[in-house]
Structure 1
Amino acid sequence: MTAGIAINLRSPVPPFEQIRTQIATLISLGTLAAGTRLPTVRSLASDLGLAAGTVARAYKELELAGLVETRRRNGTVVAASPPVLTPPAPPPGPVPEAVIAAVDRCIAEGRTAGLDDAALLAILRGRQEGSHK
């Protein structure tokens, strides 16, 4: 499964967040179907050249989001019914130019770091929900 996950150590996005975002994206795209078993923490950490705690944190975040389930004998698997994300409501009025400029900078930085739209949105949602402190 590591073929679908790449870590950019020069990115300002922490490695656990890169893993979390990429797996969440694979799940949302249907590339990882419900019931698909993820690699063990140690296996993925070894394949990516990271500490096991880094991968464990990513898996824990995915579990808290309801995207995966950890089962003692079966390991970590994609949840049977991932949560449905509702599209955001349009802004109530005109968006200030400073906010538009900040979003444009965020998108540019994300592209430089190799992140796609789904990854950027997942990071934004996570920060907004306060799950990444």
Structure 2
Amino acid sequence: MAYDMDSGVLERDEAHNLIASDRVEGTSVYNPDGEKLGSVHHFMVGKRSGKVSYAVMSFGGFLGVGERYHPLPWDVLTYDTDLKGYVVDMDKERLQGAPSYESGQEPAYDKAYGSTVFGYYGLGY
């Protein structure tokens, strides 16, 4: 955080490799072709480790109806400064087959679910 002496306002100033959590939520997610797949709805942080495990992306639906949430392992996302969003190396068809859930049906995010999600993306949990 930086204090602007001229305006008297405390400014949010992220370090080069850090970003405030409220700036991640709502950030667009694209495939490598630049096609928007969805946006980061929220992310899941380990209570003890402090490490972000998942970015939960909202996908599909219209005006909130039929929207699904896809937990993406944080490590499958790459931030693209030109797009000002995250890129995940998959197309919509593969994303539609990924582990997901509807609003109000959030999974337990236990070890078994983590293994399923990370396994879908070819990662160990």
User: Quick check: TM above 0.5?
Assistant: no
Pick 1 or 2: higher relative contact order, CA cutoff 8 A, min separation 6: 1
Which protein is richer in helix relative to its size?
Answer: 1
